[in-house]
Chains A and B, each alone.
Chain A
């Protein structure tokens, strides 16, 4: 069954595009604009968007002490979460004292280990996703704003190279779909421009919240390429590239996607 599903990607049938004419100066489209009105409504309505359940869980985790330090996020970052406003817009970034970039999940885990003296939360665990949804939600509606840190440039360039490189059994690059064929149909699904505006995202296919990494892994599987390990630097490089490519676009987390 899995094989059949992947087979759809394999087929890479590009059915004629129904993409609407794009207006304005900024022609970039968020995946939100590719969804039908009922899914857009689901994302916009705070009690219809299932991602908001995770934001609520995140608010609880934010106030719960953990680790040997027995400290909660609130103890250092304040009760309201307002200190996290704008933070998700500028990740991945290089944490103080480090020399490689961390994405938001990794930055949260840094506080887990260094400040709470607790074990890092596993990737895609409910608690990590909830905390990152809670932090990301504080930036909803604001423009994506990657930091002007020259140390990030080489990582971002490697991300750009990964984006352009053909890989997998299908010998396709990310760009082949998301730059060259965005707006067209792939086995009935509109190929989005792949802007990371909504992560963590409630993907209907998953029936739960998931990170940008999980989404990227799905695309790698789609082209039958080897997925990188969850902690490998390639994801962060791709994320750096994608965030720069989406600079200025409105942040939507937690978004809904099919």
Chain B
């Protein structure tokens, strides 16, 4: 089950620059750590985080094993029009999570 916390304003003035912060539960297993039996624990990371605003991609970040467990990402966006901001995380072992928030632009 996806477990995500998103922080963004619900309303913004047109043209205002808003900050969007997102946190997701994920181990970000590096693929370099030995497990209890001495063999290496398989890599399991989120490789990409993408943000779209009413379907248009506005931000993308490719992550590496050097990103901390339970990844946190923050970025800014110009409030252009009312609608939906969708955040998508994808990675190893078929990990796919999408969460959307509604934003009203006045």
A touches B in complex, CB < 8 A:
yes
Residues of A in contact with B (beta carbons under 8 Å apart): 46-48, 50, 52-53, 56-57, 60, 207-208
CB distance from A48 to the nearest CB of B (A): 6
| Contact B7–A47 (Cβ < 8 Å) | yes
Q: In chain B between 37 and 54, which residues have their CB closer than 8 angstroms to a CB of chain A?
A: none
| Contact A207–B25 (Cβ < 8 Å) | no
Tell me whether B11 is interfacial, beta carbon within 8 Å.
no
Give the residue of B1, B25, B69, B72 whose beta carbon is less than 8 angstroms from that of A48: B72
Max chain A C-beta neighbours (<10 A), residue from B1, B27, B70: B70
Give the residue of A48, A50, A60, A207 whose beta carbon is less than 8 angstroms from that of B21: A48
- The answer for the CA separation of A48 and B20 in the assembled complex, in Å, is 12
Contacts of B70 in A (CB 8 A): 50, 53, 207-208
| Contact A53–B3 (Cβ < 8 Å) | yes
Residues of B in contact with A (beta carbons under 8 Å apart): 1, 3, 5-7, 21-25, 27, 68-70, 72
Contacts of B22 in A (CB 8 A): 47
Contacts of B69 in A (CB 8 A): 50, 207-208
**Given A48-B21, A48-B23, A207-B27, residue A56 in contact with residue B5 (CB < 8 A):** yes
**Given A48-B21, A48-B23, A53-B25, residue A207 in contact with residue B5 (CB < 8 A):** no
| Contact A46–B68 (Cβ < 8 Å) | no
Give the residue of A47, A57, A60, A207 whose beta carbon is less than 8 angstroms from that of B23: A47
CB distance from B46 to the nearest CB of A (A): 14
